[in-house]
Amino acid sequence: MVTLNIVILAAGKGTRMYSDKPKVLHQIAGKSLLRHVVDAAISLDPYKIIVVHGHGGEQVQQEFASMPVQFAKQEPQLGTGHAVQQAMPMLDDDGITLVLYGDVPLIQVRTLEKLSAESNSLTILTQILEDPKGYGRIVRDSQGSVTSIVEEKDASDEQRKLTEVNTGILAAPTNLLREWLSRLSNVNIQGEYYLTDIVAMAVEQGIAIHTSQPNSAWEVIGINNKMQLSQLERMWQAEQAKRLLTQGVTIIDPSRIEIRGELTCESDVEIDIGCIFEGRVHLGKGVKVNAYCVVKDSSVAAGSCIETYSHIVQAEIGECCKIGPYARIRPGSKLANEVHIGNFVEIKNSQIASKSKANHLSYIGDASIGGRVNIGAGTITCNYDGANKFRTVIEDDVFIGSDTQLVAPVTISSGSTIGAGSTIVRDTPAGELSLSRSKQVNVSGWQRPVKKTSEN
């Protein structure tokens, strides 16, 4: 098996982003530009991944500290050829080296697999563009063989008419790449060491040069400013919506959905406008997500309905549940089948068994709730004493009256009924009514304050 090394160039400052953040750390679809590239690289199972950093290098290293990448520093920045040179001391001569770019985020694994298939030749990724302005041109001879790549600033008028352009992405035998890089010159208008100059060296040595093309044009779009970032975001979101539509998902308006991670759907899923899906989200058969919901790192089982403006993060929603509108399900929550969580109800780190419901204006935190429980409006589990968190246990078939405070740690035993307006601080007996209210006092003759009028 051929050893594969991957070098990712990520040293540019990105001055046109007008930001203190390194360009490659700006985000598209919920991940940094560089993270997209690193994830694609990892999918190829390479021997080494080396990120060449420069401006903001400490921030880059910090973001990827837990990932299987190594770092090389380019300082000063003297061109793409110079950037790759910084990584070469970390590479053995065996195998091939694939060169990628941290500001070309959407390159796909299938494209890279084709590009790195040839182990004894130089393979470059090219593309045909109607408007090639700004790109280096691929120069071919009368037989169609690649003879060189010329940067636009160095190109003649005839060469600028060429429409096949260089994407910058290439694969080459590592030993040859090392040799070619050592021979680079910076005698050009920019005074830089161009990686593209290795093409002419390969031609001179009779090394085979192959070209490959991406399946989609958006794969090789690079980012230089916020406008381009925004445009590529729209392209990527459109592609993801297209993928879901072809799988049978109903999306009310494909231009108004945001997928910032991985969304998988079973049959007959419906998604209304303005929904955001982050991280890994799975929607089961027949799930309906109404307008303007946010779902992150969660699963929603078959037949459940998420009503408008609900927010679900790191939670599991069972079958045939009804959530919202305006509900918030926080991390660690697990809802069984046929649970109802209504408007302005917040659930945090709690487990709720089947057919239980909290339909209005409640906070349920750090609780274990049994089946067929009814939680009245305004109920609060008082789980925090200012220093520690405590757990509330509500067993099966409990009825909690409105405006109740359950002061944890406390257990509401099976079949209990809690009268409205109670503050429960002790465990309740099973099947009994528990109340905790102050004596009502009526004050006769009391007058409601009257708003004072200003005097002239």
Domain boundary among 194, 220, 246: 220
> What pLDDT band is residue 103 in, cutting at 50, 70 and 90?
very high
What is the DSSP code (8-state) at residue 196?
G
Task: Tell me the pairing of strands 4-10 and 48-53.
Answer: parallel
pLDDT at residue 64 tops 70: yes
Q: Six-digit token pair at 433?
A: 């009514």
Q: Given a cut of 80, is residue 260 above it in pLDDT?
A: yes
pLDDT confidence band for 189 (50 / 70 / 90): confident
- Alpha carbons 81 and 41: distance in angstroms, whole number: 20
- Statement to judge: residues 72 and 171 lie in one domain: yes
Token duo for residue 417: 């009924």
- The pLDDT of residue 442 is above 80: no
425 three-class SS: coil
Q: Dihedral, CA atoms, 97, 98, 102, 104, nearest 10 degrees?
A: 160
Here the tokens at position 301 are 């089982």
Q: Which of 220, 236, 271 is the last residue of a domain?
A: 220
Cβ proximity of 306 and 313 under 8 Å: no
Tens of pLDDT, residues 4-59? 999 999 998 889 999 999 999 999 999 999 999 999 999 999 999 999 999 889 99
pLDDT band for position 127 (cuts 50, 70, 90) = very high
Quick one: 201 and 231 in the same domain?
Answer: no
pLDDT band at 456 (very low <50, low <70, confident <90, very high): low
**Domain co-membership, 124 together with 27:** yes
pLDDT given for residue 117 in this prediction: 87
Element (H, E) at 262: strand 257-265
Domain-located, residue 456: no
At residue 105, the pLDDT reads 97
pLDDT, one tens digit per residue, over 267-288 is: 999 999 999 999 999 999 999 9
Strands 423-424, 367-369: pairing kind? unpaired
Residues 32 and 177 in one domain: yes
Is residue 311 annotated as part of the catalytic site, yes or no? Answer: no
86: CATH: 3.90.550.10
Asked if residue 193 belongs to a domain, the reply is yes
For residue 41, being part of any structural domain is answered with yes
Asked if 213 and 232 sit in the same domain, the reply is no
Give the pLDDT confidence of 206-236 residue by residue, as tens digits.
998 999 999 999 999 999 999 999 999 999 9
Q: Is 296 helix (H, G, I), strand (E, B) or coil?
A: strand
Domain count, the chain: 2
What pLDDT, on a 0 to 100 scale, did the predictor assign at position 374?
98
Rounded to whole angstroms, the Cα distance separating 120 from 207 reads 8
pLDDT at residue 63, rounded to an integer? 93
393 forms beta bridges with: 368, 411
**Do residues 215 and 259 both lie within one domain?**
no
pTM above 0.75, yes or no: yes
Least confident range from 104-113, 248-257, 290-299, 447-456: namely: 447-456
The pLDDT value given to residue 397: 97
- The verdict on 260 and 168 lying in the same domain is no
Average pLDDT of the chain?
94
Same domain, 210 and 241: no
CA distances to 87, 122, 225, 343 from 377, in Å: 62, 69, 50, 10
The answer on pLDDT for 454 being more than 80 is no
Mean pLDDT score, 307-313: 98
Q: Which range marks the domain in which residue 399 is found? A: 226-434
pLDDT for residue 61: 95
Residue 438, pLDDT score: 81
State whether 239 and 290 are in the same domain.
yes
Distance of CA 389 to the CA centre of its chain: 31
Residue 448 lies in a domain: no
pLDDT for res 12: 87
**Chosen domain end from 190, 220, 250:** 220
Q: In this structure, what is the dihedral angle of CA atoms 369, 372, 377, 380, given to the nearest 10 degrees?
A: -10
455 pLDDT band, cuts 50/70/90, is: low
Owner of token pair 């060469």:
159
For residues 153 and 189, the answer to whether their CB atoms sit within 8 Å is: yes
Q: Are residues 32 and 172 in the same domain?
A: yes
Who's near 394: CB < 8 A, 6+ residues apart? Answer: 367, 368, 369, 370, 373, 375, 400, 406, 411, 412
In a domain, 138, yes or no: yes
pLDDT band at 293 (very low <50, low <70, confident <90, very high): very high
The answer to whether 395 and 413 have CB atoms below 8 angstroms apart is yes
Angle at alpha carbon of residue 350, lines to 344 and 356, rounded to 5° = 70
**pLDDT exceeding 70 applies to what percent of the chain?**
99
pLDDT > 70? residue 98: yes
Q: Which two tokens stand for residue 142?
A: 């009368």
Asked if 175 and 245 sit in the same domain, the reply is no
pLDDT tops 70 at residue 205: yes
Residue-wise pLDDT tens digits, 383-392:
998 899 999 9
Asked if the structure places residue 443 within a domain, the reply is no
DSSP characters for 378-414?
T-EEE-B-SS-B--EEE-TT-EE-SS-EEESSEEE-T
Residues 186 and 241 in one domain: no
- Residue-wise pLDDT for 392-407, tens only, equals 999 999 999 999 999 9
CATH number of residue 314's parent domain: 2.160.10.10
Q: pLDDT exceeding 90 applies to what percent of the chain?
A: 87
Distance CA 62, CA 175 (A): 31
- 434 and 422 in contact (C-beta within 8 Å)? yes
Identify the pLDDT of residue 452: 80
Give every CB contact of residue 399 below 8 A, 6+ residues apart in sequence.
373, 374, 376, 416, 417, 418
Residue 440 lies in a domain: no
Residue with token string 């494209």:
111
Distance CA 163, CA 365 (A): 61
Total Cβ atoms within 10 A of residue 168: 21
On whether residue 159 sits in a domain, the answer given is: yes
